[in-house]
Amino acid sequence: MTGHPFISIEDLAKVYGDTPVFEHLHFAIDKGEFVCLIGHSGCGKTTILNALAGLEEASEGAILMGGREISGPSLDRAVIFQSHALMPWMTVLDNVGFAVKSRWPDWSGAKRRAHALKFIDLVGLAGAADKKPAQLSGGMRQRVGIARALSIEPKMLLMDEPFSALDALTRGTLQDEVLRICHETEQTVFMITHDVDEAILLADKIILMTNGPHAVIAEIVVNTMPRNRSRTDLHRHPHYYRIRNHLIEFLVDRSKQFDRANADFDPRHPRLTTPGLDGPESDVTASSPLRNNHGAA
Amino acid sequence: MISSLRLRAAIVSVALLAGFLLLWHLGTQGTAPTANLDPEYARLMGATAVEGKSAFPGPAEVLGKFWWHLSHAFYDNGPNDKGLGIQLIFSLARVLGGFGLAVAVALPLGFLIGMSPLMHRALDPFFQVLKPISPLAWMPLALYTIKDSATSAIFVIFICSLWPMLLNTAFGVAAVRKEWLNVARTLEVGPFRKAFRVILPAAAPTILTGMRISIGIAWLVIVAAEMLVGGTGIGYFVWNEWNNLSITNVINAILVIGLVGMVLDLILARLVKLVTYPE
């Protein structure tokens, strides 16, 4: 690693009243990396994402992008909202076109339209460009949200549980497409999820948050499965159940009882673990030799 | 099923109207001629006393007069004798003038109040006091300061249409979904583009509903205001015909006021429907 990491979060904390929801957060995201954040409700996940988006200010600490501090929202960081947040009075094309015009106000109408249609096509909605969001299914609406976010060609994509409101089948299809699109465009992504399988499928690194208040990063799990994994053959890979069990065991037990007084715990350098590489009988909490070695590939 | 319900409702409506007209007709039949009146006294008493004619016009008489008004809507025989159409144009011009002024004030001010919780709290006590004041109570003050009865009537319409529009605009703007504003923020949308492309369309149904309430109130108030300021307008027509003791014309004017009010409301309802978005 030379120079600054793409995104670097330094000592971030959010305090409501007297109680910090989360504190001492340190982590970095490299260019092209897909990072998921997992934790129970109330650990401030959405606040972290909003801070990254620039929609909310953290109480302490800083977020650096390319070495410069983030202040306020920017077209460099596109957000895919949990509730799709489409403007219901605009057609699909207008929703995406609105974003395109925000990014390139000087473009001609025809150029904007062509650009917007390209991304509507990318998410498979070519035939629905002139429909209003109310005429679309939940999955299609979220596709429009994805097209809108991608259409401004952001340096980074922020997703706040984008698939949680969808039924299982739709969610699966959309996960596949997001995976494909992000790999094709080498998009840097930060995503919040509740869903362990979603994290394993999509993420290169999975950040585990302990329960709030006073939530901290317990560890960062490196996804050691090959990047060309797919939803259908995920479970055949030997690493899959090791990672999955590790994550579930964390969410069920350790997220509550995390011992921050432990001498091993250093908030500045959250432990990187590779449960996928551990043998079946080895201790899943064992420290990994990969600390400070970014990138799963 | 819906169409049959509609049909049945229409049949009931027509039956109710027919029943009402029949009762009206029977109630205004009058009595037999009163016998043996002194001819000079009879001339003083008029047809009601002499022929037993009802003092209240029957439906046939009113509808006949209504037809006459429709076919002579725009005649002008001087200050106190103008067609109903001309009177309506005067009234509508006042209503639209006052209403337009109220739109010009209520929209920007409502935006400001809706966007700023500080201004909302600061101005709220004033609204609470000003809102329940009958618009006609402003009339003396308006006449005294403006010194022109026609403008005073417009001012009264302005005052009465202002509050519903202002409060609805403020409410609509304040209630714009946070996520839409967040989308605008992440897209770095400028303040004017945000106001016109995001907040205005999002709040438009609420704003136009306020306008619909306003135009209804304005139409209620214009009749009373014109009775006070006199000269022209449908309200003045009603009062003038009362002074002429022409109950037939008064009933005709009432009917016309109702029909025009309904048309105004339908127009605004149509506009509300145009800007309403399904979610």
pLDDT digits (tens, 9 = 90+) for A118-177: 999 988 898 999 999 999 998 899 999 999 999 999 999 999 998 888 888 888 888 988
**Contact criterion met (CB below 8 Å) for B173 and B115:** yes
Question: In this structure, what DSSP letter does residue B76 have?
Answer: B
Q: Say if A181 falls within a structural domain.
A: no
Average pLDDT value for chain B: 91
| Residues contacting residue B200 through CB under 8 Å, at least 6 positions apart | B207
In angstroms, rounded to a whole number, what is the distance separating the alpha carbons of residues A73 and A59? 17
Selecting from B182, B187, B278 the residue whose C-beta is nearest the C-beta of A75 gives B187
Tokens 């999820």 belong to residue: A193
* Whether residues A247 and A275 fall in one domain: yes
Q: CA-to-CA distance for A180 and A198, rounded, in angstroms?
A: 14
Cβ(A128)–Cβ(A54) under 8 Å?
Answer: no
> Are the Cβ atoms of B179 and A55 closer than 8 angstroms?
no
Q: What is the domain range of residue A45?
A: 1-76+156-167+186-297
CA distance A23 to A7: 18
pLDDT for res A35: 95
**Which one-letter DSSP state was computed for residue A11?**
E
Phi, psi (5° rounding) for residue A232? -80, -30
- A162 plus A278 within the same structural domain: yes
Region A25-35: mean pLDDT is 92
Q: What confidence score (pLDDT) does residue A213 get?
A: 85
Among A101, A102, A131, A153, the strongest candidate for a mutation testing the B interface, having the largest count of B CBs within 10 A, is: A102
The fold for domain B57-275 equals: MetI-like fold (1.10.3720)
Of all residues in chain A, the one with the smallest CA distance to B176 is: A87
Question: In chain A, whose CA is at the least distance from the CA of B187?
Answer: A75
Size of interface A-B (CB pairs under 8 A): 59
| Of the candidates B29, B49, B27, the residue with the CA atom closest to the CA atom of residue B38 | B49
Is ipTM beyond 0.90?
no
A54/B188 Cβ within 8 A: no
Task: Annotate B177-215 with three-state secondary structure.
Answer: CHHHHHHHHHCCCCHHHHHHHHHHHHHHHHHHHHHHHHH
Percent of chain A whose predicted confidence (pLDDT) is above 70? 92
Contacts for A262 with CB less than 8 Å, ≥ 6 apart: none
- CA angle, A176 as apex, A8 and A224 as ends, to 5°? 55
Q: Is A296 exposed, middle or buried (0-12, 13-18, 19+ CB in 10 A)?
A: buried
**A19-29 β-sheet, strand order:** A19-29, A7-16, A60-65, A68-69
Residue with tokens 């090959």: A226
Reported as a pLDDT band with limits 50, 70 and 90, residue B100 is very high
Cβ atoms of residues B176 and B203 within 8 Å? yes
Cβ atoms of A150 and A118 closer than 8 Å = no
Q: What is the pLDDT of residues B182-213, one digit of tens each?
A: 999 999 999 999 999 999 999 999 999 999 99
A143 and A270 inside one domain: no
Nearest C-alpha of chain A: how many angstroms from B78? 52
pTM: 0.84
Mean pLDDT for A95-120 is 95
Q: How far apart are CA A38 and CA B259, in angstroms?
A: 63
Model confidence at A224: pLDDT above 50? yes
Please say if the pLDDT value at position A263 is more than 70.
Answer: no
What is the distance between the alpha carbons of residues B177 and B162, in angstroms, rounded to a whole number? 25
Does A236 lie in the same domain as A114? no
Residues A196, A63 share a domain? yes
Residue in A closest to B181 by C-alpha: A85
Say if residue A191 is in the same domain as residue A284.
yes
* CA distances, B89 to each of A198, B71, B237 (Å): 67, 16, 12
CA A16 to chain CA centroid, nearest Å: 24
Which amino acid is located at A67 in the chain? G
Instruction: Give Cα separations from B270 to A87, B52, B130, B162, B163 (angstroms).
Output: 22, 49, 30, 21, 22
Q: How confident is the model at residue A271 (pLDDT cuts 50, 70, 90)?
A: confident
Report pLDDT for B198: 96
Sign of CA dihedral A150, A151, A155, A158: negative
**pLDDT (0 to 100) of residue B162:** 96
Instruction: Output the domain CATH number for residue A60.
Output: 3.40.50.300
The count of C-alpha atoms lying within 13 angstroms of the C-alpha of A168, restricted to the half-sphere facing its C-beta, is 2
**Structure-token pair, residue B116:** 């700023």
Torsion B207-B211-B213-B217 (CA) sign: positive
Instruction: Tell me which chain B residues have a C-beta less than 8 angstroms from the C-beta of A134.
Output: 277-279
CA distance B182 to chain A (A): 7
Residues of A in contact with B177 (CB under 8 A): 85
Q: Which of A127-141, A227-241, B242-256, B263-277 has the lowest mean pLDDT?
A: A227-241
Distance, in Å, from the CA atom of B221 to the CA atom of B217, rounded to the nearest integer, reads 6
Q: Where are the domains of chain B?
A: 1-53, 57-275
**What's the pLDDT at A273?**
86
In this structure, are A33 and A161 located in the same domain?
yes
Using one digit for the tens of pLDDT, what is the confidence trace for A185-204? 889 999 999 889 999 999 99
End position of a domain, from candidates A154, A177, A195: A154
**pLDDT of B2 above 70:** no
Distance CA A281, CA B191 (A): 60
Q: Compute the CA torsion angle B42, B43, B46, B47 (nearest 10 deg).
A: 70
Selected residue of B181, B182, B186 to mutate for chain A interface (largest A Cβ count, 10 A) = B186
More confident residue, A252 or B222: B222
Name the residue with higher pLDDT: B48 or B16: B16
- pLDDT at res. A296: 39
Report the pLDDT value the prediction gives residue B261, as an integer from 0 to 100: 96
Do A224 and A284 fall within a single domain? yes
The alpha carbon of residue B32 and the mean position of all alpha carbons in its chain are separated, in whole angstroms, by 41
CA separation for the pair A226, A204 (Å, rounded): 9
Summarize pLDDT for B29-82 with one digit per residue, the tens: 877 766 677 777 777 777 776 777 787 889 999 999 999 999 988 888 888 888
Identify the pLDDT of residue B56: 87
In chain A, the number of structural domains is 2
d(CA A22, CA A216): 6
- Report the alpha-carbon distance of residue A67 to residue B150 in Å, rounded: 68
Helix axes A92-103, A138-151, angle to 10 degrees: 20
Q: Are residues A194 and A233 in the same domain?
A: yes
Say which range, A5-19, A265-279, B71-85, B264-278, has the weakest mean pLDDT: A265-279
Cβ atoms of residues B154 and B97 within 8 Å: yes
* Residue A264 pLDDT: 73
- Residue B180, min C-alpha distance to chain A (Å): 6
Residues of B with CB under 8 A from a CB of A: 177, 179-180, 182-183, 185-189, 193, 197-198, 201-202, 204, 275, 277-279
The DSSP call for residue A80 is: E
Given a cut of 80, whether residue A229 has pLDDT beyond it is: yes
Tell me what the mean pLDDT of segment B250-254 comes to.
Answer: 94
